[in-house]
Amino acid sequence: MSDVTRILDQVAHGDAVAAEQLLPLVYEDLRQLAASRMASERRDHTLQATALVHESYLRLVSQSQPVDWQGRGHFFAAAAEAMRRILVEKARSKQRVKHGGDRQRVPLEDAVDHSDNQDLLALDAALEELAKEDPLAVRVVELRRFAGLNHHQIAETLQITVYAARQKWTYARAWLRNVLRTLE
C-alpha cells in the first residue's frame, strides 16, 4: 500500500493529522492537474492554479461525511471533479448581475469578447444530462477536459482499459457536440 493510499485510509477514518500529511504528498500532482486545467481557461481568469488546488483539496478532506477513498486514482478523480465544480461556480458567479454579469468586457485591442463562462455553464449542464445516461463517460470527460489526463492516465485512474477510455471519450465528445450544438 502506497503512502498516499495509507494516508487516504486514515483520513477516511477521521484522522486530522493524516490530512495534514497528505497535502505534501499529493500537492505537486494536484498542482499539475490545476495548471493543465487553467491553461485552457480564459487569459483574464482571476483564479490561479494554486488557489484552485487549495480550494479543491479543502473540499476533499473537510467533508462532513468521511469518504472511503478507494486509492490514489479515486482521490484524483474526485479532485478533478472538485476542480470542475469550483470553475463552474466561479463562472456562474461572474455572470451574476451583482458581479457585473450583465456587462461585456471589451479589450482595447479587440472589440469582440470571447467569454467562456457561457460555454463552461453549457458544458456543465450537458455533463449533468450525460451523467444520467453514462456516468463513466462523464468521469472520462472530467479527467480529460478538467484534469488534462491522457487516455492511459484516465484508464489507470478509473481502472478501465485504454480502449474503453478512448471509446468513452469519443462517445462523450460526439454526444456533447450534438447537445451543445442544439443549445446555440
Q: Angle, nearest 10°, between helix axes 72-95 and 151-158?
A: 110
How confident is the model at residue 160, as a pLDDT? Answer: 93
- What are the pLDDT digits (tens) for 91-149? 788 776 555 555 555 443 333 333 455 678 888 888 999 999 999 999 999 888 888 88
Q: Where in the sequence is the domain holding 136, given as residue range(s)?
A: 3-103+113-183
How confident is the model at residue 80, as a pLDDT? Answer: 86
Distance CA 74, CA 149 (A): 14
How confident is the model at residue 163, as a pLDDT? Answer: 94
Average pLDDT over residues 34-44: 71
Query: Is residue 108 assigned to a domain?
Result: no
Looking at the structure of the chain, the number of domains it has is 1
Burial 49-79 (b: 16+ CB within 10 A, else e): beebbbbbbebbbeeeeeeebeebbbbbbbb
Query: Is residue 27 assigned to a domain?
Result: yes
Query: Is residue 66 assigned to a domain?
Result: yes
Query: Is residue 34 assigned to a domain?
Result: yes
Query: Is residue 81 assigned to a domain?
Result: yes
Query: Is residue 61 assigned to a domain?
Result: yes
Q: Which one, of 91, 89, 72, lies nearest residue 33 by Cα?
A: 72
Query: Is residue 8 assigned to a domain?
Result: yes
Confidence of residue 183 (pLDDT cuts 50, 70, 90): low
> Rounded to two decimals, what is the model's pTM?
0.54
Distance CA 52, CA 35 (A): 9
- What are the pLDDT digits (tens) for 63-99? 767 677 787 888 888 888 888 888 888 878 877 655 5
How confident is the model at residue 106, as a pLDDT? Answer: 46
